[in-house]
Amino acid sequence: MILDIWQLLGGLVHWLMVDIIGAIIGWLGFHSLQSWLGSSGVLNFVTILIVALIVFVVGMLVSITLIWQERKTLGRLMDRRGTQVGPIGLFQNFADAFKVLVKEIIIPEAADELVYNAAPVIIIGTSLLMFVTIPYSTGFYVSNSELGVLLTFALFGVVPFAVLLGGWASNNKYTLIGGMRAAAQIISYEVPLLFSVVAVVILTGSLNFFEIVQYQQDHIWLVVPLIIGFFTFLISMIAEVERVPFDLPEAEAELVEGWGTEYGGMRFGLIMMSEYARGFVGSALAALLFLGGWDMPGFLGFVPDGLWFLLKMFMVFGIFIWVRGALPRVRTDQILNLGWKRLLPLTVVNIAIAIALKTMGWF
């Protein structure tokens, strides 16, 4: 049974606002207020507000889980236990959240205050908004847009603009350099990233996540015919979310903390959380576009499809962590050369393979 979140929450909001609160207000004699609460505009606004709150909470919980996964995995890779605060280290992230929550927020004296405050809002907002575009199974999703893939990557494309704004508005040479590095890096890798997805769209003929997953269920996971595109997608996504070895925009040995140097307190915490939120979306996209989404082998049919999708997503994020633990940071020129001179030609080859397979009718 499909769980339509909009319909479910709309029914709950209508029951609460009209049948409960509205009835009480009408009994008290405030009939104009009762009719206003029952209007479609107010009910839709409250529903959207609740969905936004759910997306924010889910985004934060997922980000906390990914941070815990990274700390424990890196600990094992470095022959140590990782965080040990609380049961299996789960409380460490909450301790860190409390620490940044009580820190004072200081705005640089010469900063462009409007742009300085707007940049993290854009980054965090677009990062969490991408959660709405990702379906978790055939029975659990918020949005089922025919252009879901396009919308998700459009939201990814807003981030470099906001990062550059934040680096410039802080009025700090280190943040400016970090912002310029981030913009150059992300733009350089968005081209091969999108080209990797073009091959998927050519084979499936759709920009809808559900139709792409259904195509893989009917044929074969696209990681098999488009193995080149899968690896170029992973490498480009690691650079897109600014993870090691592509974390030059935040190279603490050179730029203190890169474009986010002047952000402190909860703003810094939310910016860091948004990076993990984008890492989650990147891992989810890899699972949806190349690994069959929530598709599973027949003998594992007892596993809920949503859980199967999350397992794939955490596996892909585990690859991100593995790369971070294995490779050192590279130079800016090496990053740009890899994107333009290596990955871009490979994605063109991948598109040619997709066209050939589609033309011959093999897939």
Tell me if 213 is assigned to some domain: yes
pLDDT at 332 (0 to 100): 79
- Over the stretch 297-324, which tens digit does the pLDDT of each residue have? 766 667 788 888 989 999 999 999 999 8
pLDDT tens digits for 45-62?
777 777 777 777 777 788
Q: Which residues contact 177 (CB under 8 A, 6 or more apart)?
A: 167, 255, 258
Q: Which pLDDT does position 3 carry in this prediction?
A: 46
How is residue 80 written in tokens? 């140590």
User: Of all residues in the chain, what percent carry a pLDDT higher than 70?
Assistant: 95
Residue 241 lies in a domain: yes
Distance (Å) of CA 182 to CA 132, 174, 243, 362: 25, 12, 11, 40
Asked, as a colleague might, if the bond just before 108 is cis with ω within 30 of 0, I would say no
Higher pLDDT, 174 or 209: 209
Report the candidate in 160, 317, 295, 174 with the shortest Cα–Cα distance to residue 240. 160
Least reliable range by pLDDT among 33-47, 128-142, 305-319: 33-47
Reference 289, options 345, 341, 241, 237; nearest CA is: 237
The domain tally of the chain equals 1
Three-state SS sequence of 295-322? CCCHHHCCCCHHHHHHHHHHHHHHHHHH
Q: 22 or 266: whose pLDDT is higher? A: 266
* pLDDT of 2 strictly over 60: no
Per DSSP bridges, beta strands 140-141 and 3-4 are parallel
> Side-chain half-sphere of 246: how many Cα atoms within 13 Å?
26
Q: Is residue 331 part of a domain?
A: yes
Q: Which of 247-251, 309-313, 348-352 has the highest mean pLDDT?
A: 348-352
Domain that holds residue 118: 106-360
Q: According to the model, what pLDDT value does residue 1 have?
A: 36
**Structure confidence by residue, pLDDT tens digits, 175-210:** 888 888 888 888 888 899 999 999 999 999 999 999
Give yes or no for a contact between 66 and 279, defined as CB atoms under 8 angstroms apart: yes
Q: Does residue 11 lie in a domain region?
A: no
Residue pointed to by tokens 């707007």:
118
pLDDT at 249 over 80: no
pLDDT exceeds 80 at position 243: yes
Q: What is the mean pLDDT of residues 275-301?
A: 87
SS3 212: helix
Q: What SS3 state is found at 354?
A: helix
Give dist(CA 268, CA 107) in Å, integer. 12
Look at residue 205 and tell me if it is in a domain.
Answer: yes
Q: Give the Cα separation of 130 and 154 in Å (integer).
A: 10
Closest CA to 92 of 72, 76, 62: 72
Task: Examine residue 266 and state whether it is found in any structural domain, yes or no.
Answer: yes
pLDDT digits (tens, 9 = 90+) for 139-164: 777 778 888 899 999 998 888 888 88
**Does residue 101 sit within a domain?**
no
DSSP letter for each residue of 91-146:
THHHHHHHHHHHSPP---TTS-HHHHHHHHHHHHHHHHHHHHH---BTTEES---T
Helix or strand or coil: residue 349?
Answer: helix
Residue 89 Ramachandran class (φ > 0 left, ψ -120 to 50 alpha, else beta): left
Is 289 within the bounds of a domain? yes
What pLDDT is stored for residue 190 in this prediction? 87
Work out the number of other CB atoms within 10 angstroms of the CB of residue 358.
15
The number of beta carbons lying within 10 Å of the beta carbon of residue 102 is 8
